[in-house]
Amino acid sequence: MIRRLNAGILCLFIATACIAADLTAPCVTLPEVLITGTKIGAARSFTGEEIRASGARTVAEFLEQVTGIALRLDGASGGKAFARIGGSNANQVLVLIDGVRLSDVGSGETDLSKLSAEWIESIEVTQGGGSVGGEAIGGVIAVKTNQTAHNELRVYAHGSSSLTTVGARQEFARDELTAAISVTREQGRGDYAFRVIEADGNGPFTLQLGQTLRRENNELLRDHAMGKVTRKLGRHELGGMMLIERAVFGLPGYLAPRPTPLAEQNELFNLAQVSWQTAPAVGMIAVALASQHQTRDFFDPDLYSYLHESHEYSTRQTAIGSWSKQTLVGSLSASARLERERLASGVLENSEAVRNRWQSAVQWSRSIALDRLERHEINVSAVGQIERFGDAKMQWLPSAEASYTWEATLPVVIGVRGSQAYLAPSFYSLFWNDELLAQGNPDLRPETSTVWTGYARARTRNAHSTNVDINGTLNRVTDLIFWRQAFDGRWTPQNLRSATLNQLTLSVKQVMLPKHADVGVSFEWLEARDRSGERTTNDKYLIYRPARTARADIRIRGHSTQGGVTFRWVDKQAVLETNSKWLPRYSILDAELSHTFRLGAARFSASLACENVLNTDYRVVRHAPMPLRQWWLTLSIAMGK
């Protein structure tokens, strides 16, 4: 199967490159805009133009700029990145790419660094579950890839002292056929400088306190290819998408069992998807089939290592069908999803785990106009969903939303949303078989949650527009799964009877000079407490959640030059499960400057960026120090008529 996927991508690339030799469509320069997000009810939607204008290279880099979302980073440049919404765990966030779930079969987490920003048409972020899947206790990140293409070839290079990225993207459009393919290589030793602080040990008695060290065994080699073809045939539209990624990297810190400076991991990931949609008189009908394959090999030749090698292979097959229609009583839609997951690994009991899941949902929504002249409107929607994992009992997961909109002079939206979500234990949590240091728990109960969200949004219509967004969330989670060290020293997953996560976010976007200068500020307050009565976690903050975060952005544009400065301030964050240590307050300043110019049919772009300008000492999670100051240079050229 892997060979067929690689051959398919190669053929797609050759065909696209050959056909695109006749470049007829004009080259389009996307406008620079401030990230505000188009609001659709409780969901926040961001366009591809907004994403690329932010300077982000991947979906992970963009989501790091969105209020209410925190990323868990490996620390290494080019490393993996996992999103948390409202203080949730990474595996409690459902990530969809064109409607298909994208996550690791074993852990349930989704590496967002796989997705390049140039492929994205839109991203929609919703807190809590919905009609797309109940496994979203934290929320849903729905990514839609580009549906259109231009006749253009773009090559680029991006690098620093620790990592270099080179890539190319070819787009083709003719009549009703569009196609695109991109290939990327990331390579570097990955080592970076960090400084030891008191939070790393015993306060002023910490070993090597104040010394600058280098994170070792961070080598990275990653090849990435993605291709997509879309063809319209009257009312019908056919599409195909392929994603292949091969990575070889070292494993420092907490990222591997008993790591040593010699530990290494190889990964190969493939995702293939075909889709069909049509719009007859009975409504819009869409069908998609997808197949995901992943292999992971771990090696550690160190004689003192307990685990010298392991091999893991996983698959996921997905079938999705949906129907939607606008009627006199409102908008109606129905969907069904079938999945089969399989994981084979030497670290699992019986070496293999298989699970089927199915989900179906019916959704209704309607807009009621109260005053057409003043444009008063009430929007209501309701979702009924049934979901089942493996042999677990069926779960009824309803959700509902109501909002009021007034657009006469100052567009204002006020609304409330409630939803229920459900998450089955991951294969790792159930069947992990590392007998010395960790062991799975087959008696784990599924997690369930009820999420209530209230929001208010307003935006002025003048040239110096102001956008205000207030969002409050209450998430009550039952049987939350977390790994805890038992009396025998082994780490084992347990169920907490109850946990509560409260979040309040406020963001303001202000246009200072139309088309030239924008300013944005945001604040996030998070309280995540256990209510289980357990001795070691009672009334404690949950691990690794920033409790207070503020952010300020300034973006300036003039002619073909633009620049931006981002300041982040974090007040409080736990380091250990028992919360006996807290990270000190820290602030991070990032800056970027870019310039674009044309020479004939070619468009050149160069940018210089500096991360952590102030050279701040800080940590995100234990054993994963973040880098000190780093400089990045990016060069790109796009060619087309």
Give the pLDDT score at 584. Answer: 72
**Residue 564 and residue 556 in contact, taking contact as beta carbons nearer than 8 Å:** yes
Pick from 377-381, 417-421, 504-508, 578-582: least confident: 578-582
Pick from 13-27, 187-201, 232-246, 603-617: least confident: 13-27
Tens of pLDDT, residue by residue over 412-428, are: 999 999 999 888 899 99
In terms of Cβ atoms closer than 10 Å to its own Cβ (0-12, 13-18, 19+), residue 331 is middle
Task: Average the pLDDT over 119-136 and give the result.
Answer: 80
Pick from 110-114, 284-288, 399-403, 538-542: least confident: 538-542
Give the pLDDT score at 574. Answer: 60
pLDDT of residue 556 exceeding 50, the answer is yes
In the chain, pLDDT over 90 holds for what percent of residues?
36
Give the pLDDT score at 456. Answer: 94
Q: DSSP strand E in 279-351: where?
A: 284-299, 309-327, 330-345
pLDDT of residue 275 exceeding 50, the answer is yes
Location of structure tokens 């050149």: 604
| Amino acid, res. 124 | E
Cα 358 from Cα 345, distance rounded (Å): 24
Give the pLDDT score at 577. Answer: 47
**Residue 557 and residue 547 in contact, taking contact as beta carbons nearer than 8 Å:** no
Give the pLDDT score at 21. Answer: 34
**Residue 601 and residue 640 in contact, taking contact as beta carbons nearer than 8 Å:** yes
| Amino acid, res. 376 | H
How many other β-carbons are positioned within 10 Å of the β-carbon of residue 416?
Answer: 15
Token pair belonging to 334: 């129905």
In the chain, pLDDT over 70 holds for what percent of residues?
84
| Amino acid, res. 156 | Y
Q: Which has more confidence, 568 or 7?
A: 568
Give the pLDDT score at 528. Answer: 78
Task: Average the pLDDT over 483-499 and give the result.
Answer: 82
Q: How confident is the model at residue 8 (pLDDT cuts 50, 70, 90)?
A: very low
Task: Average the pLDDT over 599-624 and give the result.
Answer: 81
| Phi, psi at 128, each rounded to 5° | 85, 175
Cα 385 from Cα 397, distance rounded (Å): 5
Q: How confident is the model at residue 24 (pLDDT cuts 50, 70, 90)?
A: very low
**Residue 637 and residue 156 in contact, taking contact as beta carbons nearer than 8 Å:** yes
The SS3 of residue 23 is: coil
Give the pLDDT score at 439. Answer: 87
In this structure, are strands 139-145 and 93-97 parallel, antiparallel, or unpaired?
parallel
Tally: H helices and E strands in the chain: 4, 36
Give the pLDDT score at 35. Answer: 33
Name which of 292, 167, 277, 187 is nearest 232 in CA terms: 277
| Phi, psi at 137, each rounded to 5° | -65, -40
Give the pLDDT score at 463. Answer: 84
Tell me, what DSSP letter sits at residue 432?
B
Bridge partners of 422? 448
How far is CA 260 from each of CA 211, 250, 412, rounded to the nearest angstrom?
Answer: 22, 9, 56
Cα 584 from Cα 633, distance rounded (Å): 31
pLDDT of residue 621 exceeding 70, the answer is no
pLDDT of residue 101 exceeding 60, the answer is yes
Give the pLDDT score at 339. Answer: 93
| Phi, psi at 219, each rounded to 5° | -55, 145
pLDDT of residue 224 exceeding 90, the answer is yes
pLDDT of residue 169 exceeding 80, the answer is yes
Give the pLDDT score at 579. Answer: 47
Token pair belonging to 46: 């961001």
Cα 52 from Cα 536, distance rounded (Å): 45
Give the pLDDT score at 291. Answer: 96
Q: What is the dihedral of CA 126, 128, 134, 135, to 10 degrees?
A: 90
How far is CA 251 from each of CA 83, 170, 541, rounded to the nearest angstrom?
Answer: 20, 34, 29
Q: How confident is the model at residue 473 (pLDDT cuts 50, 70, 90)?
A: very high
Tell me, what DSSP letter sits at residue 394?
P
Cα 468 from Cα 406, distance rounded (Å): 15
Q: What is the dihedral of CA 471, 472, 476, 481, to 10 degrees?
A: 50
pLDDT of residue 228 exceeding 90, the answer is yes
The SS3 of residue 5 is: helix
Tell me, what DSSP letter sits at residue 57?
S
Cα 109 from Cα 49, distance rounded (Å): 27
pLDDT of residue 28 exceeding 50, the answer is no
Cα 65 from Cα 34, distance rounded (Å): 11
Pick from 240-254, 494-508, 540-554: least confident: 540-554
**Residue 559 and residue 594 in contact, taking contact as beta carbons nearer than 8 Å:** no
- Please give the mean pLDDT across all residues of the chain: 82
Location of structure tokens 């969002």: 471
Give the pLDDT score at 582. Answer: 64
Give the pLDDT score at 319. Answer: 96
Task: Average the pLDDT over 278-291 and give the result.
Answer: 92
**Residue 269 and residue 248 in contact, taking contact as beta carbons nearer than 8 Å:** no
Pick from 24-28, 408-412, 601-605, 635-639: least confident: 24-28
Exposure of 324 in the CB half-sphere (CA atoms within 13 A): 13
Where b means 16+ CB within 10 Å and e means fewer, 533-549 reads eeeebeebbbbbbbbeb
Q: DSSP strand E in 490-599: where?
A: 491-513, 517-530, 546-558, 561-574, 582-583, 586-599
Give the pLDDT score at 624. Answer: 64
Give the pLDDT score at 256. Answer: 47
Q: 3-state DSSP: the chain helix, strand, coil percent, rounded to 5?
A: 10, 60, 35
Q: How confident is the model at residue 258 (pLDDT cuts 50, 70, 90)?
A: low
